[in-house]
Structure 1
Amino acid sequence: MDIIAKIKSTAIETPDRLVFSSRDGKMTYGELWKKSSALASYISNRLEGNREPIMVYGHKHPDMLVAFLACVRSGHAYCPVDIGNPRERVSDIASAIDNEIVIVVQHEEMIDIDDKYEIVGREKLDTILESDTSYDDNEPVSGDETYYIIFTSGSTGKPKGVKIPADALNNYLKWSVTLSGGIPEATRFLNQAPFSFDLSVMDLYTGLATGSTIIALDKGLQQDMPEMLKYIASSDIEYWVSTPSFSDMCLGEADFSEENFGSIKAFLFCGEVLTKDTAKQLRARFPHAKVINTYGPTESTVCVTEVDITDEVIAREGALPIGLPKPGTEIRIDPENSEMIIVGDSVSSGYYKDKERTDKVFFMAEAGSLSENPKDMVRAYRTGDTGHYDESGMLFCDGRIDHQVKLHGYRIELGDIESNLTNIEGVAAAAVIPKRHEGKVESLTAFVVREG
């Protein structure tokens, strides 16, 4: 899989096919390629000789895709930052990326970063994108070069940037298009997660890899359940990609069923624990749709396992499995502490400009059965999750060995919250405790000690 080449071929063969639709606008594959050519040309000239990452700020606007594609076509990784991030975190990420420009697709008024960075905002973007500038794609991001960087929670209160190489993304996509028995060409994906959350890579890039249309739900729409469900129903979604928590919200509405959403072929879940209760409700309300459970941290490029949650799987004792590893990947269980170690071709190259953190969890491991030469070395990542295989070879996730949790799909270091709480004037100490149900974190409770 070469995702840039695939997007180009779709744009040439079916330029009028819709690639993206949200309440902020629609865009065809032809428009995506043409606009990204103009922006890639601008970036190449503006940052001549510079192949450092570029931060892209915005939400669910079609031009977010234009910016992502323009960055990688011109040889730069992109770092998506959603408008839902606090101003201080946005500033921290801009400083960590530290390139000359920041692309701001929308809501420039919400961004507050160092004056040394040039903001390529809406007005300038419109001028660039309206030009009919071609671009020859001499040196796009490829191979082991970083394709995108997504920042996750850090235990010290500072976010850490996960680098995903082009090869890792392409290897992931080679597998993701086979999910749920195989994704057909020109289908329709639901995009629920913001682009700064790596779950969005599943719908966005699997969609692009199949020449499909991505239907995006913006933040405001997700806060209006009746309106959102109408929007989804009218969009003929076929592949639903979200966290289990998001589907739980929808299941709270009696109308959320196959009768009103008959186009849905499969629910693809990642980002947190899928409970039996959620799976049972979905199987009852959507008897003809598949429920697919996957597992994987940001550091492994979205997810690396898959299992079809059938009624038979639900009926078995215990928690739901997370499935079998994808081709090109092994998940090895550390005999000392049962930690799951992901080894294979979609593992991240580490944390951006953070060797200390990288060396703690990333290492090179013998390929074993992953290569014709078992002694070949491949990337490996210590997940911090514990797990086990059952007698049939099915993998189960048993929990964490550290102080990290997942809430609504977002990976959160409890130490991150505690560190920020103690920065508040008058707070001497803080502790954060997760509340769980069926192994899934439902809420967090903070306890603070006042100074004096």
Structure 2
Amino acid sequence: MDILAKIKSTAMESPDRLVFSSRAGQMTYGELWEKSSSLANYIENRLRNREPIMVYGHKSPDMLVSFLACVRSGHAYCPVDIGNPPERVSDIADAVDNEIVIVPQHEELLEINSKFEIVGREQLDDIFAGHAAYGGLEPVSGDDTYYVIFTSGSTGKPKGVKIPADALNNYLNWSVTLSGGIPEATRFLNQAPFSFDLSVMDLYTGLATGSTIVALDKGLQQEMPEMMKYISAAEVEYWVSTPSFADMCLGEAEFSYENFGSIKAFLFCGEVLTKDTAKQLRCRFPDAKVINTYGPTESTVCVTEVDITDEVIAEAGALPIGLPKPGTDIRIDPESSEMIIVGDSVSSGYYKDKERTDQVFFMAEAGTLSDNPKAMIRAYRTGDTGHYDENGMLFCDGRIDNQIKLHGYRIELGDIESNLANIDGVAAAAVIPKKHEGKVINLIAFVVREGNEISDDYSGRKYVREALRDLLPSYMVPKRVKFIDKMPLTNNGKADRRKLEELV
């Protein structure tokens, strides 16, 4: 797969085909290619480096234009959604540290260092109106970084995962075969923000099949009746979301085959798919496939697939995460049971962070992945534990550290705890996940107060949560705050999480 060549081919052959639709606007493949040509030309003339470029916004069609313009001019892009608090956005801008930041929408929400030049709405319109010729530019290719997505980091600062062009193309060679094969010119649902790598599944698998991406903005997702009408009218065929989002929709009686008969498959990633969710979907959409996948951001979205049939649901235990894709081997560490992903879609590491890269990325022997078993290939220690059953089906059993998935978002509990510790009046804090059927449903923060700055009542708990909202994305703010007199400790002097779990 050469995704840039595929997008160009669709734009040339079917310029009037719709590529993107949201409440913020629509765009055709022809417009996407033409506008990204103009912006790529501007970037080429403006910058004398090939470093990543931050792109800030939400579900505007021009977000796609900006992504494509960056890679066509030889730069990776770094998507940052408006759902991030100002301080985290500023941290990411400082980490990327290129001269310009592209802002197709919501410039009024952006608070970053004044040294960065904002290429905002007015300037973008002028660039697009210029219809600058595109030619001679060297796009991102091979092992060049295609995009950088920042995820939660245990130190309290986000870390940027670099995905090379080859890794994305290798992923797409497989993703277009999901659920038995995805046809050309279909319609994908985009639920996740572009700063969450689940969006790569719908956005790029859609682009790789010449399809239309139907995007749900944050506001629409909070208006359930309106959202249901919007999705139904869009006649989405491939539903891409977290299981939690599907759970929310299943709360609506109208969410069934009778009203959403266009849906051919549900493609899930990002968190545990429970049997209860799968059963309800199989009941309400008997003709649609339910596909469970697994993979961290560091492996380019996901690397396993399994069709969750009624027979699979009936088997004892949790649902499997499936079989590894071609070009990927998932090996189980015999001592820790940690899953190690080896293959052609593994990230090249963390952006400007060699120390953390060296902790989890390494080169491993290819084995059956190559004609030369001794050839070396990228590998990543996931931190997830797992096992294969007697049929070769892979199951995810949990974590070996304090990282969790909530509503599809990967969260380092230490990230929340570090930021809690920075709040005036907090002496110590620990965050514990509350689970159901192995799936995290919410977070609880246990806080030891210092002095009288924080009151031991509702207003004090509210103060802590509001202070966190200024520091972290909303999905990382614990649902509940519980004050305790003293933090229980292990023999090693660390917070005793088992005792805290008993308090949950």
Q: TM-score range by the shorter chain?
A: over 0.9
Alignment of 1:34-433 (within 5 A): 34-48=34-48, 50-136=49-135, 138-433=137-432
> Contact 2:24 / 2:61 at 8 angstroms: preserved in 1?
yes
CA RMSD of aligned residues (A): 0.5
> Contact 2:433 / 2:443 at 8 angstroms: preserved in 1?
yes
**Cα offset for 1:159?**
0.1
The Cα offsets for residues 86-110 of structure 1, whole Å up to 9 and x where unpaired, read as: 1000000000000000001111110
How many Å separate the matches in 2 of 1:361 and 1:79? 22
2:5 is equivalent to residue 5 of structure 1: yes
> Contact 1:73 / 1:137 at 8 angstroms: preserved in 2?
no
Letter in 2 for 1:121: G
> Contact 1:198 / 1:302 at 8 angstroms: preserved in 2?
yes
Letter in 2 for 1:120: V
Equivalent in the alignment of 1:15: 15
- SS at structure 2 position matched to 1:373: coil
How many Å separate the matches in 2 of 1:424 and 1:84? 21
Letter in 1 for 2:13: E
Identity across matched positions, percent: 85
The Cα offsets for residues 154-213 of structure 1, whole Å up to 9 and x where unpaired, read as: 001100000000000000000000000000000000000000000000000000000000
How many Å separate the matches in 1 of 2:60 and 2:41? 21
> Contact 1:431 / 1:448 at 8 angstroms: preserved in 2?
yes
**Cα offset for 1:9?**
0.4
How many Å separate the matches in 1 of 2:398 and 2:134? 48
**Cα offset for 1:131?**
1.5
How many Å separate the matches in 2 of 1:136 and 1:373? 39
Letter in 2 for 1:411: R
How many Å separate the matches in 2 of 1:278 and 1:79? 33
- SS at structure 2 position matched to 1:134: coil
The Cα offsets for residues 239-284 of structure 1, whole Å up to 9 and x where unpaired, read as: 0000000000000000000000000000000000000000000000
How many Å separate the matches in 1 of 2:39 and 2:246? 36
**Cα offset for 1:138?**
2.9
> Contact 1:34 / 1:134 at 8 angstroms: preserved in 2?
no
- SS at structure 1 position matched to 2:20: strand
The Cα offsets for residues 330-374 of structure 1, whole Å up to 9 and x where unpaired, read as: 000000010000000000000000000000000000000000000
- SS at structure 2 position matched to 1:430: strand
Higher CA-based Rg: 2
**Cα offset for 1:134?**
1.7
- SS at structure 2 position matched to 1:434: strand
**Cα offset for 1:451?**
1.4
Give the alignment's TM-score, normalised by structure 2.
Answer: 0.89
- SS at structure 2 position matched to 1:228: helix
**Cα offset for 1:408?**
0.3
Equivalent in the alignment of 2:441: 442
> Contact 2:44 / 2:137 at 8 angstroms: preserved in 1?
no
How many Å separate the matches in 2 of 1:160 and 1:148? 13
How many Å separate the matches in 1 of 2:449 and 2:137? 59
Question: How many residue pairs align between the two structures?
Answer: 451
Equivalent in the alignment of 2:501: none
How many Å separate the matches in 2 of 1:247 and 1:128? 39
**Unmatched tracts of structure 2, length 5 or more:** 452-504
The Cα offsets for residues 95-138 of structure 1, whole Å up to 9 and x where unpaired, read as: 00000000011111101000100000111111111221121253
**Unmatched tracts of structure 1, length 5 or more:** none
The Cα offsets for residues 23-50 of structure 1, whole Å up to 9 and x where unpaired, read as: 00000000000000000000000003x1
Give the alignment's TM-score, normalised by structure 1.
Answer: 0.99
How many Å separate the matches in 1 of 2:147 and 2:292? 24
Farther off after superposition, 378-387 or 137-146: 137-146
How many Å separate the matches in 2 of 1:299 and 1:180? 23
Superposed structure 1 runs of 4+ greater than 3 Å apart: none
The Cα offsets for residues 197-238 of structure 1, whole Å up to 9 and x where unpaired, read as: 000000000000000000000000000000000000000000
- SS at structure 2 position matched to 1:162: strand
Equivalent in the alignment of 2:479: none
